[in-house]
Amino acid sequence: MKAICFNFEIHQPFRLKHYRFFDIGKDHYYFDDFLNDDIVTRVAHNSYIPACESLLRMIEESKGRFRASIAVSGVAMEQFEHYVPEFVDLLKKLADTKCVEFVAQPFSYGLSSLADPEEFANQVANTCSILRSRFGVEPKVLRNTELIYFDDLAPQLVEMGFKAVLTEGAKHILGWKSPNYIYSAASSPKLKLLLRNAKISDDIAFRFGDTSWSEFPLTADKYIDWIASTPAEEQIINVYLNMETFGDLHPATTGIFQFLEALPRFAAERGIEFVTPSQAISKIKAVGPLSVVHPISSADEERDTSAWLGNRLQNEAFEKLYSVAERVRECDNRSLKRDFQYLQSSDHFFYMNTKRPSAFSPYETPFAAFTNYMNVLADFLMRVEEEFPTQVDNEELNSLLLTIRNQDAEIEALNKELASMRKNIEQYNIEHKKNTKG
């Protein structure tokens, strides 16, 4: 039986306020709370809430046969809890149906997987912790930022306990192969790869409301027919979409929600089922390994990382930010750690993109985005210096960090020794009481 695997991405960054050169060293709060409140609240009410209500109806009306997955960033969850807590409640309802799988991703929706494996692991662990505490789920599938994936990442993901990763069905990687199969990671066969079908996904994401498109209007029966007409041996069609596709990028007046809700009925008529990523890898065997030597993503025609790291501005900002990653991890300053996470969001680097203008950028030009970010970063780096002064050279810093780690290890060892001694004392007291009674 052919199956559709839906994944809906939900992310909103903490956008930066206008931060001048003269603010450096004086103002340590970098974020535009008014703008973030306005955007998050608007998108939630126009898109996220009605879309999730549609998913709930689809699950109910199909008696649980409709299934999907959702990826939500940690920075988005923090804002939802602050600005639109009713949306968090709605996500909890979806989790409770057991028909929606929540997949993990980096907390900041950042690019740490390209620069710092330890930071990447921490970011993913933070998101998993949120999903565990809010929804009672333990993610076993990962969707990296913008579907970024490469061979070197696979062994780390397996070590972190993941069984599958969602990524892009990039043509330059697949060649003659189809994205409509499950593959195994060439560098770690235990990890399964679920590849986005770019055409089927983009027919909704970009072409649904395009009146100049030859297939306009796109109806649910036509869409399901396209999927049903794929070769019989191709068992899975992965449709990965940003959730704001529904109601924000394509307003409700276009009929996008009616289109979504009609899909299960037409799929049932054609013998097509819906599966979560975990169900997919349990039901469908991988057809073989797939190697991805260089990082791929879902962005642009190139399907690479140039949307965020394609020019000197982006790379300078990126390198300076991650140059202090080790220092930030070792400090105890909570606000510094928080700001480091927020500053990692890939959106900040995307706004510096000179390949094409971003409709979502709050800046007039990529250079304005770079200037504002670097002003913020300059102040942030000054704060990091207060924790670990720059006059400490790398050798001294490494020695200092090693000492800190050794101290932690010694404390842990002493705690274990103390626990053992307490256990021995308790055992002695029990035996002593027995001897006394005897």
Tell me the catalytic residues. 146
For residues 51 and 340, give the distance between their C-alpha atoms in angstroms, rounded to a whole number: 31
> How would DSSP label each residue in 275-337?
--HHHHHHHS---SEE---S-B-SSTTTTSSHHHHSSHHHHHHHHHHHTTHHHHHH---HHHH
For residues 344 and 332, give the distance between their C-alpha atoms in angstroms, rounded to a whole number: 19
245: which 2 tokens?
């596709």
For residues 261 and 20, give the distance between their C-alpha atoms in angstroms, rounded to a whole number: 47
Angle, CA of 298, 299 and 301, to the nearest 5°: 105
Of 238, 253, 107, the C-alpha closest to 165 is: 238
331: which 2 tokens?
């400090």
46: which 2 tokens?
């126009």
**Considering all CA atoms of the chain, what is the largest pairwise distance in Å, rounded to the nearest integer?**
95
Q: Do residues 341 and 123 make contact, with C-beta atoms less than 8 angstroms apart?
A: yes
* Bridge partners for 168 per DSSP: 196
Residue type, 122: N
Q: How many Cα atoms sit within 13 Å of 331 on the Cβ side?
A: 20
Of 109, 97, 38, 31, the C-alpha closest to 68 is: 97
Q: How far is CA 382 from its chain centroid? A: 29
Backbone angles phi, psi at 107, to 5 degrees: -50, -45
Of 305, 309, 343, 312, the C-alpha closest to 325 is: 343
In the block, tokens 């930010």 appear at 321
Angle, CA of 8, 11 and 17, to the nearest 5°: 160
